[in-house]
Amino acid sequence: MTIERWERTTEVPLLVAALLFLAAYAVPILQPGLGRGERWMWMLVTLATWVVFLVDYVVRLHLAPDSWAYARKNLLDVLVLLLPLLRPLKLVRTLRTFSFLHGRQRLGLEGRAMVYAGSATVLLGLTASLAVLSVERGAHGSNIATFGDAVWWACVTVTGTGYGDLFPVTARGRAIGIGLMFGGLGLLGVVTASFASWFMTRFKRGDEG
């Protein structure tokens, strides 16, 4: 079996696994009053999806003509296996595959770059909202108490606006904030540059037509 065929076959199962992983991360944070049994269930889901991603990675290494070259070219995969918080990026990747199959006609290169970097920004913001909420809620002197607060804080942070009505006060919360600021600069830089380029192209075309 070729690696291309494997990737095509596992596309939908991996999308489901990524969504389940995200759910297993989100639900216990959003519902802090969860029972012991349900907590265990979501931990099992986390573990199961992690095993699924591990198996997928090992199989792809085996199927690749040159395993070392493949591993070096796909360093993000290893990162995602080691750092669970980066897992949602798998979701973006699957989304990218989808848009590659179906969206080629509708969207130009800039449009797809905007969708890809924009989706990565949304996932980054969502993950950071959940992470900061689980860390800051209950901390002494914290002002991020609800999921709504966390989403608002993430948007204010990722765009670099920084009102200062809400901000993390714990070391881990600040680390999440630093990741979000720099990640936002990079990803929204791609979105803005693509948007400006797309805008000028459309503007020029409307000028001629």
Count residues near a copy of itself (CB under 8 A). 41
Least gap, CB of 201 to a copy of itself (angstroms)? 11
Least gap, CB of 206 to a copy of itself (angstroms)? 8
Of 8-16, 20-28, 48-56, 169-177, the segment contacting a copy of itself by CB under 8 A is 169-177
114 membership: H or E segment, kind and range: helix 109-136
Of the candidates 123, 118, 109, 136, the one whose C-alpha atom is nearest the C-alpha of residue 192 is 118
Backbone angles phi, psi at 150, to 5 degrees: -65, -40
Residues shown for the chain: 209
Does position 145 bind a copy of itself by CB under 8 A?
no
Of the candidates 71, 73, 52, the one whose C-alpha atom is nearest the C-alpha of residue 10 is 52
CA 132/CA 166 separation, integer angstroms: 11
Does position 196 bind a copy of itself by CB under 8 A?
yes
User: Which residues bind to a copy of itself, rule: CB under 8 A?
Assistant: 100, 109, 112-113, 116-117, 148, 152, 155-157, 159-165, 167, 171, 174, 177-178, 181-182, 185-186, 188-196, 199-200, 203-204, 207
